[in-house]
């Protein structure tokens, strides 16, 4: 059996998508004008190791896929030259916000931080959509910010979770599995159905079956690698999954 979550496997996933479906960025999906009956959305959350995003972005560009990449605002991830290169390949770049967590639940402070960080992002890329960073160690869910404020006031046309329609099927590699067994926050509100796929090979088979019309795929590029990068990611994911299980047990 071949290793999962390698860049070779990612290329196979992208090839299956490109051969069977048209793809949309999230800004195209949220714009909502003349959507095709069948499509795949490829979204990538850049939580750490931003150089990994270049690898997946290049593979997608080679396959003719335009995806959406969300970068966090911190010194380890916010790399303007990487973000510009990803956008230059035809991908969308958005803001992976965590303002409420950074503000420790202070909504007024959080919305001010959101605005200032978004401004910095827009000095680098054309940001039209946003996505919350679902830190499992934080007690704050940043999506709660939009129960008090409206992201459209900032010229944002959609939030990756909150604006997703009921007509799409969501699949995420969170926790190094395509089902939700290692997942705390990575879900579309109101929808916690278990995925019938577990491995990337399962996901590829599902795509090639053409039985689902509208598919929304999330990956984390730091999870996908070869050699030592793959080994590092495997160890990190195993540790995080163990921590999540302890956290759930305590809660």
Sign of the Cα torsion 3, 183, 32, 66 reads negative
What confidence score (pLDDT) does residue 183 get?
56
pLDDT of 212 reads: 95
- Residue 63, classed as helix, strand or coil, is helix
Buried b / exposed e over 195-234, threshold 16 CB at 10 Å, is: bebebbbbbbebbeeeeeebbbbbbbbbbbbeeebbeebb
Whole-number Å distance between alpha carbons of 161 and 9? 26
Sketch the domain layout of the chain as residue ranges. Answer: 7-250
Measured between alpha carbons, how far apart are the two ends of the chain, in Å?
A: 37
| Segment-wise mean pLDDT, segments of 10 residues, the chain, 251 residues | 89 98 98 91 97 97 98 98 98 98 97 98 98 87 97 98 92 87 61 74 96 96 85 65 46 47
What the block records as the tokens of 61 is 């560009």
Q: Regarding the domain with residue range 7-250, which homologous superfamily does it belong to in the CATH classification? A: Glycoside hydrolase/deacetylase (3.20.20.370)
Which residues, 6 or more positions from 106, have their beta carbon under 8 angstroms from its beta carbon? Answer: none
Count of C-beta atoms within a 10 Å radius of residue 173: 26
């Amino acid at each position: 059996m071949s290793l999962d979550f390698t860049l070779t496997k990612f290329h196979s996933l992208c090839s299956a998508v490109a051969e069977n479906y048209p793809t949309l960025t999230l800004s195209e999906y949220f714009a909502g004008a003349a959507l095709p009956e069948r499509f795949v959305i490829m979204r990538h959350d850049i939580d750490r190791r931003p150089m990994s995003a270049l690898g997946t972005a290049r593979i997608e560009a080679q396959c003719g896929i335009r995806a959406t990449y969300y970068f966090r605002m911190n010194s380890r991830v916010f790399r303007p030259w990487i973000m510009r290169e990803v956008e230059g390949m035809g991908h969308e770049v958005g803001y992976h916000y965590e303002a409420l967590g950074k503000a420790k639940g202070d909504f007024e402070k959080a919305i001010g931080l959101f605005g200032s960080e978004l401004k910095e992002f827009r000095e680098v890329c054309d940001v039209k959509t946003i996505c919350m960073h679902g830190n499992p160690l934080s007690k704050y869910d940043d999506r709660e910010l939009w129960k008090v404020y409206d992201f459209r006031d900032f010229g944002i046309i959609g939030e990756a979770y909150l604006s997703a329609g009921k007509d799409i099927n969501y699949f995420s590699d969170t926790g190094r599995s395509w089902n939700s067994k290692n997942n705390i926050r990575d879900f579309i509100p109101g929808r916690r159905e278990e995925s019938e796929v577990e491995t990337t090979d399962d996901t590829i088979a599902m795509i090639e079956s053409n039985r689902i019309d509208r598919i929304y795929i999330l990956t984390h590029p730091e999870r996908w690698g070869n050699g030592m990068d793959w080994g590092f990611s495997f160890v990190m994911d195993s540790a995080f999954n163990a921590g999540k299980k302890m956290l759930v047990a305590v809660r």
